[in-house]
Structure 1
Amino acid sequence: IILTASHNPKQWNALKLLNDKGEFISGENGAEVLALAESEDFNYAEVDDLGKYETRDDAFDIHIQQILDLPMVDVEAIKAKKFKVVLDAVNSTGGIAIPMLLDKLGCETVKLYCEPTGRFPHNPEPLKEHLGDICELVKKEGADFGIVVDPDVDRLALIDEKGEMFGEEYTLVAVADYLLKHKNGVAVSNLSSSRALRDVARDHNSGYFASAVGEVNVVTLMKEKNAVIGGEGNGGIIYPDLHYGRDSLVGVALFLTHLAKENKTVSELRAGYPAYFMGKKKIELTPEINVDDILSQMEKEYQNEEVSTVDGVKIDFENNWVHLRKSNTEPIIRIYTEAKSQEEADRLGDEIIAKIRSLI
């Protein structure tokens, strides 16, 4: 059990439950846990029969050493580059762990918000509008790039040497580019992640598969397809040679290896990938409208396109895509789009909203 508020303020600390493999439990297992918690069919242990616990202060060291020992992490190549890196850890445990890793890799670390107080100095979602401080500091320090992690240190965003966002979606793309260049296999992400990962996989004559949204769904499909790399477009890297969980530390080590071997700046690396832009919109419906019926009608409306109903309705057009997902709590359809320009992504979202309204 992990006690965490994730990217929420500290008063929202709650529980993340893992199975015996150290992976998040499935929805089915979660339902079992809730049923047990709500039942009266168990006995509490008496005080003299309570279990035992132990504390460890070497967990970071063990984790980092396992990363350094990975064949695809080239420690010497990274050390030779003597990278200078700015780190924004949003006052989380990333402020302890990431500098430890960077030190082992011979990098100079400039720390920003690295005191693990749990008091976020800015909105912890690693989005451009929240990261002005690190973007400025990267330029001021003349750093090679910047690293941003969320409070759980499972999302990894990067800033290039010009103080510009690398793009959360492109963290996974860059790491997959490196791995698939050297290993045969497939890549997996979720249906709402960038098409750029599919494009990079095809460039390396590799396969690409998309799961329903949610880490547990990505992991299930990765195991089914024996994927080399997987993750989520929000900067979550899942590298099964280490473990089946999103992990910013292994993401940093693999990205640094890629950067060192490519002998490019971060902005040059980013320019080599397909340029896509995402849009996010939503349409609020009245409670009496059946959202499932609307999604079913949209599926029929675009039946001549490539359509997936694994998670809501995703429609893949030749040059863009749209993904429709219903809210579990409100009569809302969330609309995710991606295209080769921001204007096109937004236009597609508006077009889909108009189509939905015409069906109501």
Structure 2
Amino acid sequence: MFGTSGIRGRIGDEVTCDLALSVGRALASDGYGTVVVGRDARESGRMLADAASSGVRECGADVIRLGEVATPTLARSVGWLDADAGLMVTASHNPAPDNGLKLWNPSGQAFGEDQREAISARVRDEEYDFADWDELGQQDRRDDPAEQHVDATERHADALVEAVGGGGLEIVVDAGNGMGGVTAEALRRLGHEVRTMNDRPDGTFPARPSEPTAENCRALSQFVEATDADLGIAHDGDADRMRAVTGSGEFVSGDLLLALFAREATSPGEEVAVPVDTSLTVADLLESQGVSVSRTRVGDVYVAERATDAGVAFGGEPSGAWIWPDETLCPDGPLAACRLAELVSRRGPLSSLVGDIESYPLRRGSVEVEEKAAVMAGVREAVLAEYDDVETLDGVRVGTDDGWFLIRASGTQPLVRVTAEARAERRADDLFAEASEVVEDAR
């Protein structure tokens, strides 16, 4: 039921009000006495949040409703409000017809594997502890304008200003019609001049697709290049991801941004948690500073789990999820934006900061398949028979003297992803073609 990033899928197909109701019931029945519920700007989120909240209350637990918020705002609010769990209704960077559910602990960390399985088991077995009519859970609507409460987004912005310094830059923030308004607010309070793009929340994502890729952020790159802006920031629909554009309009790769953040966040002897599809750029840069890399399965939930280990000072994914465990264990796009702005204001242009980091040719692609499990079983068998340096932590990763390739099933889509990297262009192409052929043969 749960993928690497919670439950996601098409509304009315994989994701329904019945499912949201069941997850709410399961949370309350599993002992989570107070649940914070929020949603992104997708219109379907209204009914899903209502259904999930009803399920929680039906089984005797209380609900605190936040309304439309960023995912990191919801994740942080669980601890702030002394709640036991958080339920965010979002499909993150997925397209508008999708929605989903993601569960959070008071620490800001997403539910771990055992917790997710416990909820899944209750839903599968319909094992719910319904409350008596006079013991139903209560609902506190923090999204009701008539109620006087400290706004969760306001509190998130306060936390960012308290955690980060800097100021004086001209920054363009592309919220992608999602929940990234907290970034613009925090940056303004920090003393930056901020202009926004696509800042009106709209779950149809009319301006650009939700995922902040280089292609989807071309308008941001062009606008930053055409103005005197020092930096461009882009978020996905729920603002857990953050990507960046230099003052000259260049979209910065996720691996370079990961290397930059990791270098700044660590000291010799510490570790950085990264997924298995991360570039050699990160490991090579950190090794020169006496910092080691600890590889995890792909997914911010796994990076966050590793970030709880002693000695891990930072965790990140090239897709745009950044975790500073001393601040929060959730990927916090607004925090990443503020920290990047601080770094640029203190040390100079982003183009210079990433320009001195050596990068290597890296190839990424996907193959659409009908049966991911069957294809991956064939891939694993073929690779183990052919290669010596093989890791199976997440998919199949093959190391060579001059590079590596990774074949793994997507956790949320009917795809098998192929990644290859080498220190020379032609070798990277060869490794990518080699890995792609393995997948095609297994289909």
1:107-122 mapped onto 2 (5 Å cutoff):
107-120=192-205, 121-122=207-208
| Equivalent in the alignment of 1:255 | 340
Distance 2:342 2:269 in 1: 18
Deviations along 1:19-51, whole A, 9 cap, x unmatched? 343321123322221221233443433454322
8 Å contact kept, 1:177–1:201: yes
Verify: 1:276 aligned to 2:360, yes or no.
yes
Verify: 1:136 aligned to 2:136, yes or no.
no
Verify: 1:320 aligned to 2:320, yes or no.
no
| Equivalent in the alignment of 2:233 | 147
Verify: 1:66 aligned to 2:66, yes or no.
no
Aligned in 2, Cα 1:146/1:221: closer, same or farther, shift over 3 Å? Answer: same
1:22-171 mapped onto 2 (5 Å cutoff):
22-54=108-140, 55=142, 56-70=149-163, 73=164, 75=165, 78-79=166-167, 82-94=168-180, 96-120=181-205, 121-171=207-257
Displacement after TM superposition at 1:169 (Å): 2.4
Give the counterpart of 2:274 among 176, 179, 189. Answer: 189
Distance 1:197 1:255 in 2: 17
Deviations along 1:262-306, whole A, 9 cap, x unmatched? 2x2211111111212332234578979764243133134221x4x
Distance 2:156 2:211 in 1: 25
Amino acid at match of 2:158: Q
Amino acid at match of 2:175: A
Deviations along 1:42-90, whole A, 9 cap, x unmatched? 34334543222331442223223333333xx3x1xx22xx100111101
Displacement after TM superposition at 1:320 (Å): 2.0
Q: In terms of mean alpha carbon deviation, does 251-260 or 113-122 score higher?
A: 251-260
- Where 1:14 maps in the other structure, the secondary structure is strand
Aligned in 2, Cα 1:302/1:15: closer, same or farther, shift over 3 Å? Answer: same
Verify: 1:292 aligned to 2:370, yes or no.
no
Give the counterpart of 1:6 among 72, 77, 92. Answer: 92
Deviations along 1:154-202, whole A, 9 cap, x unmatched? 1111111111111122222211111225x75211110012222212221
Give the counterpart of 1:240 among 291, 308, 325. Answer: 325
Q: In terms of mean alpha carbon deviation, does 50-59 or 153-162 score higher?
A: 50-59
Verify: 1:339 aligned to 2:422, yes or no.
yes
Amino acid at match of 2:324: Y
Displacement after TM superposition at 1:98 (Å): 0.7
Provide TM-score, normalisation by structure 2: 0.71
8 Å contact kept, 1:88–1:148: yes
Aligned in 2, Cα 1:44/1:342: closer, same or farther, shift over 3 Å? Answer: farther
Percent of pairs with identical residues = 25
8 Å contact kept, 2:253–2:318: no
| Equivalent in the alignment of 1:15 | 101
| Equivalent in the alignment of 1:216 | 301
8 Å contact kept, 2:104–2:110: yes
Amino acid at match of 2:172: V
Deviations along 1:106-143, whole A, 9 cap, x unmatched? 11111110111223111122111111211111022221
Distance 2:291 2:155 in 1: 32
Displacement after TM superposition at 1:15 (Å): 1.6
Aligned in 2, Cα 1:282/1:115: closer, same or farther, shift over 3 Å? Answer: closer
Structure 2 segments unaligned to the other structure (5+ residues): 1-86, 143-148
Distance 1:4 1:38 in 2: 22
8 Å contact kept, 2:94–2:211: no
8 Å contact kept, 2:245–2:251: yes
Amino acid at match of 2:301: V
Distance 1:90 1:283 in 2: 27
Q: In terms of mean alpha carbon deviation, does 335-344 or 117-126 score higher?
A: 335-344
- For the aligned residue pairs, the C-alpha RMSD in angstroms reads 2.7
Amino acid at match of 1:195: L
